[in-house]
Amino acid sequence: MLREVRSSDDRFKAVAFGLGLNILVADKTATSTTTDSRNSAGKSSLVEILHYVLGMGRLTDSVLANGALREDVFTLVLDWPGLTEPATAARSLKSRSRSKVGVSPDVTGGVETLPTFARDVPVAEWLAAIGASLFGLPEEHPGVSVRGLLSFYARRVSQHGFDDPVQTFSRQSVTEASSNVAYLLGLDWRLAAGYQSLAAREAVRKKLREAIKDPGFKLVVGAVSELRGQVTAAKARVRSLQEQVGAFQVVPEYERLQAEADAVDEQIRTLRSTDAADRRNILDLEAAIRDEDEPDVNYVERIYRELGVELPGAVLRTYDDVRVFHDSVIANRRTYLQDELEATRGRLDERQRSRDSLGERHAALLQTLEQGGALAAFTALQQQMSAAQTELGTLQSRLDTAVQLEATQAEIRLERGKLQQAISRDLGEREETVTEINTLFQRFATTLYGAERDAWVEITALETSLRIDPHIGGEDSQGVGKMVTFCFDLMTAVVARRGGRGPDFLVHDSHLFDGVDERQVAKALSLAREVCSEEDLQYVVTMNSDDLDKAERHGAGVADCIIEPRLTDEYDTGGIFGFRFG
């Protein structure tokens, strides 16, 4: 049960709550004029404060986002399961302090290990404690949100909370809303939450259909048919590199052996070049030896004889001596050329032997190098394999994503069909729960409108969601539609409370009664008081005084349930914050 709401600002009008029905009234003052309004008195602000202390995230569209309140700390005092004394929760509006809630005592660990001191706890821990203690949520509760559950117990006008009985804010999906309601009503909320995952898949599929139209899509994900071929090729490359790495032998001193092989190869090429020069020399020497003939000197005597000159004997003797000398020179040159020829041939033979030896060494070196490689080469090969494996992983991930994205509508529809059948069977097994829901709702609707109007809660497993839809005959009118929400909320609070799945309080803003006939307002207040007494609940409602007066004239009989303070339309200080701000 809620006990008190207060602020660190002394101007704030603290609100104290009691058992049963609690009516926070906004009055007109004696000096009110037609320009005064109770719309700024703070009736809806009380709901915003409750939500903020109870873990609300963003302040979007909330009065609490106003800069005039940024230094305020709001405190909520409430009963807590397992405690004999109320617990308090305080949360500051300072931007640096919003992520923590001061809880006293620290109830986030459970009452079994409850310490006696207060502690500032993260909002997430505070919400987890609310879920576990006030709503009885298990540790894992996919599809059900603590904030979503709280939105049923204090609907926010700023989030259009009164526009639909099941959806408590305008952008809430039907699947999310129905999962939360299913939990409160004691239905199989896990099955209901299954629609959320299917809805997410359907949303992805629709985005895929749009993305496929974009040529750039293939660069991000790709087509399944293309990616399968790329994955196959990538796997083959990885296997090949793995085999090479497995068979690779690191040769010690690989670089030195490679340098020696290069040097030997260079020596062989040099020897071959020298051989070519010597072979040309051999040809020249052989030609020179063939051309070394003794010259004919008889032409000298013939010339002198033709001239009629008789050579003397002394001259002839000298000529013979010269010829003998010349023959000696020719013989010596032939010997020299022959020796040079033999020496050149000898060098060719020697170099041939050297080439043979170097060739054997070069072949051995090459064989050693071919059987393995250097450590650097092995490292490079490993890097190639690692890169190939990374590429394969990326392609496989893209393929998996593409396969998931290309799930056909038929597959999703098949799963929806299975889920629909499972929920239908479960509803059949929970006939007592469904009966309890309808019995309570019909009782409340009959109290407001009489037995002549049909009233029921439609609970049906559809293809896309679990449909939970309350009805009262004639609900097309605004007033009846608002009372559908009233009866539905009151029924949900009772059923959840009986099953240990909800707290013992329910809060409604005065906007719930906008457009509602004053006779139904009177009956609704009387009914709320009656149900609170029967079920040990607390119902908090904010109202303008003239609307309450009308209800009283129709026999509501709830004037004694008005709580302090009484808000007014006095411009400067009449509202709940105690001062006027823009």
pLDDT tens per residue, range 135-189: 999 999 999 999 999 999 999 999 999 999 999 988 889 999 999 999 999 999 9
pLDDT at 159: 92
> The whole model's pTM is what?
0.68
In sequence order, the β-bridge partners of residue 562 are: 23
Place of tokens 């020249």: 284
pLDDT at 115: 61
Decide if pLDDT at 322 tops 70.
no
Residue type, 546: D
pLDDT band at 191 (very low <50, low <70, confident <90, very high): very high
Cβ within 8 Å of residue 70, ≥6 positions away? 93, 94, 95
Containing H/E element for 422?
A: helix 409-429
Sign of the dihedral defined by the CA atoms of residues 510, 512, 517, 523, in that order: negative
Decide if pLDDT at 469 tops 60.
yes
> Cis peptide leading into 252, omega within 30 of 0?
no
pLDDT at 32: 45
- At 321, list the tokens: 């001596």
For residues 407-433, average pLDDT: 87
pLDDT band at 354 (very low <50, low <70, confident <90, very high): confident
Place of tokens 């602020």: 7
Rounded CA-CA distance 90/95 in Å is: 15
Decide if pLDDT at 37 tops 60.
no
Rounded CA-CA distance 429/441 in Å is: 20
The DSSP output letter for 566 is P
Residue type, 476: D
Decide if pLDDT at 432 tops 60.
yes
Decide if pLDDT at 391 tops 50.
yes
Crossing angle, helix 174-185 and helix 146-153, to 10 degrees?
Answer: 70
Cβ within 8 Å of residue 526, ≥6 positions away? 555, 556, 557, 558
Chain centroid, CA 121 distance in Å? 26
pLDDT at 371: 54
Containing H/E element for 3?
A: strand 2-7
For residues 417-444, average pLDDT: 95
As a whole number, the mean pLDDT across the chain is 84
pLDDT band at 508 (very low <50, low <70, confident <90, very high): very high
pLDDT band at 42 (very low <50, low <70, confident <90, very high): confident
In sequence order, the β-bridge partners of residue 459 are: 468
pLDDT band at 341 (very low <50, low <70, confident <90, very high): confident
- At 15, list the tokens: 């609100």
Give the CB-side neighbour count of residue 543, counting CA atoms within 13 A: 26
Decide if pLDDT at 219 tops 70.
no
Q: Which residue has the higher pLDDT, 391 or 566?
A: 566
- At 47, list the tokens: 């709901």
Phi, psi of 253 (to 5 degrees): 50, 40
Decide if pLDDT at 379 tops 90.
no
Rg from Cα positions in the chain: 53
Rounded CA-CA distance 494/487 in Å is: 11
Sign of the dihedral defined by the CA atoms of residues 177, 414, 227, 222, in that order: negative
pLDDT at 280: 82
For residues 252-281, average pLDDT: 73
Residue (of 149, 187, 164, 170) closest to 505 by Cα position: 149
Cβ within 8 Å of residue 128, ≥6 positions away? 108, 146
Rounded CA-CA distance 460/420 in Å is: 9
For residues 193-205, average pLDDT: 82
Decide if pLDDT at 33 tops 50.
no
For residues 364-391, average pLDDT: 69
Q: How many CB atoms lie within 10 A of CB 174?
A: 19
Rounded CA-CA distance 447/442 in Å is: 8
Where b means 16+ CB within 10 Å and e means fewer, 201-240 reads bbeebeebeeeeeeeebeeebbeeeebeebbeebeebbee
Rounded CA-CA distance 114/105 in Å is: 7
For residues 41-49, average pLDDT: 91
Contact criterion met (CB below 8 Å) for 523 and 447? yes
Give 268-312 pLDDT, tens digit per residue. 888 778 878 877 888 877 777 777 655 555 655 666 667 666 666
For residues 416-428, average pLDDT: 93
Q: Which residue has the higher pLDDT, 349 or 458?
A: 458
pLDDT at 281: 81
Beta strands in 390-534 (DSSP E): 455-461, 466-472, 505-508
Q: Could you give the C-alpha distances from 134 to 51, 206, 452, 499, in angstroms and in order?
A: 15, 39, 37, 12
Contact criterion met (CB below 8 Å) for 251 and 372? yes
Q: How many CB atoms lie within 10 A of CB 541?
A: 25
Angle at 132 between CA 126 and CA 136, to 5 degrees: 150
Which of 29-38, 109-118, 200-209 shows the lowest per-residue confidence on average (mean pLDDT)? 29-38
pLDDT band at 314 (very low <50, low <70, confident <90, very high): low
pLDDT band at 456 (very low <50, low <70, confident <90, very high): very high
For residues 13-31, average pLDDT: 89
Crossing angle, helix 189-212 and helix 375-405, to 10 degrees?
Answer: 110
SS3 content of the chain, % helix, strand, coil (to 5): 60, 10, 30
Q: How would you classify residue 143: left for phi > 0, otherwise alpha for psi between -120 and 50, otherwise beta?
A: left
Contact criterion met (CB below 8 Å) for 533 and 20? yes
Decide if pLDDT at 507 tops 50.
yes
Q: Could you give the C-alpha distances from 282 to 61, 277, 279, 344, 346, in angstroms and in order?
A: 109, 9, 5, 7, 11
